[in-house]
Amino acid sequence: MVALRRWSRRHRRWPRASEWRVGGPSYPCSHTVYRHFASWEAALRAAGAGPEEAVPETPWSRQGVIRALRRWRTAHGRWPRPDDWLRRARHRPTTMTVQRRFGRWDEALRAAGARRVERHRELPWPRAAVARSMQRWYLAHGRWPRRSDWQGGGRSHPSHVTVYRRFGRWDLAVRAARRGLGADRASGSRRPA
């Protein structure tokens, strides 16, 4: 709430969730805010915004998600896969938003009219493999990965969505990786000598 108030004083208005999507040194990402409050509007009100100031972001409704899925199908000749929608775009929601509205990706596709839903095959990223990939990142970059570094996954590391699925929180994944690497090597943010 303090970060919301600081932003409000500095910018002379309350922030939008989209402005806090990644987060920064003086404020958390919007995902963190949503974990603590039922909505962006609730967070703004708790921080002191009046009813006229705490205008909610236009959320993607279930029907809006269905329309976006159908538009994608028309444009691309196939239903989207979760990896196609990891990053936000103006004309469609993110994978996380779809899963929040429907519980599972394949349920959203069924609601949109998909007759046969292909199961999305994830790379096998158990918790230990996620921790090892974070350790490799640390050794290569001299710092622990941030959520924004892993927007999309691949062979070298999972996507941020997979990290959240395995650990629940980003900091818990980093903590597990630190334990595995050894506290003496992983305590600082500089590259080990």
pLDDT band at residue 192 under the 50/70/90 scheme: very low
Q: Report whether pLDDT(7) > 60.
A: yes
How far from 79 is each of 94, 96, 108, 119, 174, CA to CA, in Å? 14, 16, 11, 12, 34
Identify whether 80 is part of a domain. yes
Q: Report whether pLDDT(56) > 60.
A: no
Q: How many CB atoms lie within 10 A of CB 45?
A: 16
Residue range 152-184, pLDDT digits in tens: 777 788 888 888 888 888 999 999 999 988 754
Q: What is the CA radius of gyration of the chain?
A: 19
- pTM > 0.95: no
Higher pLDDT among residues 173 and 186, named by residue = 173
- Domain span at residue 145 reads 127-186
Nearest to residue 138, comparing CAs of 185, 88, 82, 79?
A: 185
Identify whether 54 is part of a domain. no
**Positive or negative torsion for Cα 151, 167, 43, 100:** positive
pLDDT band at residue 112 under the 50/70/90 scheme: very high
Identify whether 6 is part of a domain. yes
Identify whether 192 is part of a domain. no
Identify whether 167 is part of a domain. yes
Q: What are phi and psi of 155, to 5 degrees?
A: -75, -30
**pLDDT value for 174:** 94
Number of domains in the chain: 3
Identify whether 119 is part of a domain. no
Query: Residue 134 corresponds to which tokens in the numbers above?
Result: 């974070």
